[in-house]
Amino acid sequence: MGRELADLSATEALGRFRSLELSPLELLDALIERAASTEPIVNAFTDTYYEQAREQAAAAADAYAQGTARPLEGIAVAVKDEDVIAGQRTTMGSKLLEDWVPEETSPLAQRLLNAGGIVHARSAAPEFSMVIFTWSFLHGVTRNPWNPAITPGGSSGGSGAALAAGSTTLATGSDIGGSIRIPASMCGVVGFKPPWGRVPEVPPWNRDPFLASGPLARTVADAALLQNVISGPVAGDMYGLPRLEIPDRFTAIEGMRIALSTDLGFFVPDREIVSAVEDAAASLRALGAEVEPVDLNWNESLLAAAEDHLSFLMGSIMRADLSKGWESLVTPYVREFFEQPAVSTERWMAGWQVMDRAYLELEGKVFSAGFDALICPTLTTTVIPANWAHPETGTPASLDEVYSVAMTIPFNVLGRLPVLDVPAGMAKSTGVPIGMQIVGPMNCDEVPFRIGAALEAAQGPLFERMRPGLAG
């Protein structure tokens, strides 16, 4: 497979920029050209800022010539249509916010800009980032570049799809139930859910231990590069964690102990997904790690507790922001969420007890038992249509059905655990990638990166071995 500029990793592009072998404008134009061919089908972007981006790319070329380049100088970053950037429309996939142009910039986006990143596009998300697919009444259906009939995942689906299509070099996402890891899995890219507090959030969302914003990229090194730019506390946020630098090189994983669970105690993943994760485990064994199966005594009550938490906190926050008459404008999945019966304080607190027991189970059988990390599937299936639950063209589905396939949710419940999602194989049933979660100990971000980097080095980055048909 011939390499094209649009398929370059960020780290490789930065090296070429520094040597003056490649200009940021050349790379940006290649991404824009790729988007012209893929966007009519993929629909990964909600808004583009190409002319402004070209001016910034030209300025970045001058910075390299003068030796003043910043860490992301000249790299195109698709920012999820959720983070606010002053002067750029931010709709959150909702007709209710169709014309909203914020006057402020979020800490995450500001750090990208300060590091020299170029926001050439905003990436699509489902309305209010509520589900694991990506379509909305405002922006339409976003599709997977590997198979347009299949979703790229959600809620950061536009970010995952743009990376796979080759219309951006880096992308951002947020994750409250798997919204970084699910698109990473479905699109064959790398996504990192940091521990709660590592990347600053806009209040009041900084208080929610389920939520973490983080990077999506085509390689583990690129994900680390972006994570290092956006991590660290901001003044006035008492929930922030200290900045933790992910190294650009790791020691070998020989001698590490890795726990393997293909079902997390109660999920029922498709056989091809189990096989892909088991094959990845075999690769880790070949690199000298000890990989042993563990049985977790988790059950469906963990998902119920997670739903209650989101409904209790997120529902109350968002209901306060929504104006009267919104019911006729929003998607069925948003309406279903807000029409659920209110969760009592007693039920919400009972859910916390379920979550606490889940952590004790994991701690006892994995981290206190001498394992360095846990690996498991990301999803139970890749057979998720791009228009799933769409009232006009999709198959009806309840929120319970939608969430039941997400093996990501337990690690939002256990929000201080860092999770890196990496490609593990390809699904014959749909032709899209299969992802694997690498779960590290509390606040130990470098552990999943160390394992993911070793696996990627052994197998080669997915996009150096193959790329979607829609990407050329």
Q: Write out the catalytic residue numbers.
A: 80, 155, 179
| C-alpha span between 168 and 156 (Å, rounded) | 14
Q: Is the dihedral of CA 184, 239, 307, 442 positive or negative?
A: positive
List, in sequence order, every residue forming a beta bridge with 122; answer none if it has no partner: 47, 79
* Preceding amide of 23 cis, omega within 30: no
Which residues 6+ apart lie within 8 Å of 100 measured at CB?
89, 90, 91
What is the b/e burial string over 233-255, where b = at least 16 CB atoms within 10 angstroms of the residue's CB? Answer: bbeebeebbeebebeeebeebee
* Secondary structure of residue 266 in the 3-state scheme: coil
| C-alpha span between 105 and 87 (Å, rounded) | 9
| C-alpha span between 412 and 276 (Å, rounded) | 23
Are 219 and 226 contacting, i.e. CB atoms less than 8 angstroms apart?
Answer: no
Structure tokens at 140: 């339409």
Are 231 and 243 contacting, i.e. CB atoms less than 8 angstroms apart?
Answer: yes
